[in-house]
Amino acid sequence: MRSMRWGLAGAVAFAIGGLSGAPSASAREMVAFNAGYSPGTVVVVTHRRRLYYVLGNGSALSYPVGVGRAGKQWFGQSRIDGKHVRPDWAPPPEIRRDKPSLPRVIAGGSPRNPMGAAALTLAGGQYAIHGTNAPGSIGGFVSYGCIRMHNHDITDLYARVSVGTPVVVVR
C-alpha cells in the first residue's frame, strides 16, 4: 500500500509539473522563518521563487512568485514607496525595445495589463511587486526584474504592508 501511495503522489507531482524543476506554485502558507529579519519585512528568495512576509516569532507568510529571468534579476534592499490598485502600466524603455508593438500605456484593469490587481512600487528603480495577467508564470523566472504574484496574493500582501515597508531580495 505504501508504494501505491507514493506512486500516486509521484503521478500527481508529474501532472502538476513536478519534473520541471520549478518549485510548487501553490497558494500562500504559514511557514517557519528564522532568517533574522524584523517583523513586517518583505523578503524575496529568488532561487526558491518565494516571497516571505515576516510575522515574527519564527514565522512568515510564504507566497509563490515569478521572478526575473537570467540577466534581469536584481538583489539588494529597497522599501515600498507606493501602493496602487489596478494601476496603469507604461512599459519601461528596455521592454519597449524588446517588444516595440506594445502601446505606451496599458490601462489598469485591461486583460493586457501585466500589473494585475495591485502593485507595490519599490524605491530606487523601475521595479514593483505586483499581480499578473498570466497566473501560469508564477513559480518561474519570467520577468524583467519585477516580482509577480497571484492576484489574490498581491491583494493579501497589499493589505498587510504600508509605504516604507522594507523589502530585501536575495539569491
Query: Above 60 in pLDDT, residue 146?
Result: yes
**Given its phi and psi angles, is residue 90 left (phi above 0), alpha (psi -120 to 50 degrees) or beta?**
beta
Which of 154, 168, 157, 171 is CA-nearest to residue 78? 168
CATH classification (class only), 23-170: mainly beta
Report residue 27's pLDDT band, with 50, 70 and 90 as the boundaries: confident
Q: Look over the chain and give the mean of its residue pLDDT values, rounded to a whole number.
A: 87
Query: pTM for this one?
Result: 0.83
Write down the catalytic residue from 47, 146, 150, 152. 146
User: Look-up: residue for cell 500500500?
Assistant: 1
Query: Above 50 in pLDDT, residue 18?
Result: no
Residue 44's Cβ-count burial label (10 Å; 0-12, 13-18, 19+) is buried
Write down the catalytic residue from 47, 84, 130, 150. 130
What is the predicted pLDDT for the residue at 11? 29
Determine whether 130 is an active site residue.
yes
- Torsion, CA 67, CA 92, CA 108, CA 29, rounded to 10: 10
Give the residue extent of every domain in the chain. Answer: 23-170
Per-residue pLDDT reduced to its tens digit, 85-125: 999 999 999 999 999 999 999 999 999 999 999 999 999 87
Determine whether 152 is an active site residue.
no
CA distances from 21 to 17, 24, 67, 152, 169 (A): 8, 9, 15, 25, 21
